[in-house]
Structure 1
């Protein structure tokens, strides 16, 4: 069996920036075990598998090197990049079991606007000690949603200089950790830590912005926000917050196309 694999850098228009994802379009699903093995072999933060449905939409599943992930924004962007190119589409409709329908539109400037369900966080009154002890600086506020704990800081330097204890943060599984603060050049900045699910730090995490954008929209009194994930590769996102959805826009560039032999 031979499979075509694409590797795309998402949330950037510059190669070797943003977050990389592998995309493998399928005609029929592979076994879960095989998809997990491929994700581990690829060893990128996420491998997206897609399978076209009879109504023209695409089912999508995401695998980190360690496990299946129920929602991934940057690999959705990468998959949309591939499928729009392959099928000459201006819109891709995805379906994922955990989050339902995800609609991605290709804009005239080549960027992709992804409409995701809003996942606003709520305040945590008693933050876990593993979270507080796992961060080198105490946050001013802690929130959480279905995906992660949100450690909120006063300024961008608090986030960029933050150090973490991955062994402690692992114990928070299935929740990951995002640190965020108002930005200097952008409306807000963030970093994302997921040692139990994929790696110590993720480069750019589209999914968490469905929670970050609503929070900062409320704090800043605006519904369109610019965001920067301050990882070693860095990534830029534009977020539009609605009543029930968040639209996240970003660019993507191709790194490679290849063949997997199984």
Structure 2
């Protein structure tokens, strides 16, 4: 069985690597027989060339499936990770990014519940407006994908409204989104970071969310996120298993 090679962005903030390690522990708890390793694009060790390639643990395409710890197909997914893996010469298969997925919506629900919101109550949801606070990207397709997540979250949960805000790139910012929620008639407001681990951008979102009634934590080591990583891994494995049958 190939290993699951989690590829994370990395950060100078030690909370980032600690959160990734906690997520890896959750993945292992859900599938104990699976080998799970982590490589980083930047800032943290080990980097991809340390694990993948002639001198690394994963020297052949069959050794592992790379699963990006990324929510959208933006620059890192389209360019950085493919380039780094091509440079290893292994042909390691790469899974799709995590978003969109119902499991991410469930993880967002979990974090709002942890912040004190009664997400199980339809009446509470109908009175609550939520800011989906993402990193933001210079790639219009990535931001459009985040807006689709927000629309699906509102449709399936019945929130009073869901507004998207960005911590970087172009606006709207969190205060703008909170004002839009109140203008739409939301009686209560919540901010849900659509981010994977603590760091500069989540801190920026938290500081900007002072006017909200409650602020959720980042997705972190949510069990739904671990299940989603395994789902992406399994999809690549199933696709690889069908190739010999189709060729025959």
TM-score range (shorter-chain normalised) is under 0.3
Q: Whose helix proportion is higher, 1 or 2?
A: 2
TM-score, normalising length from structure 1? 0.26
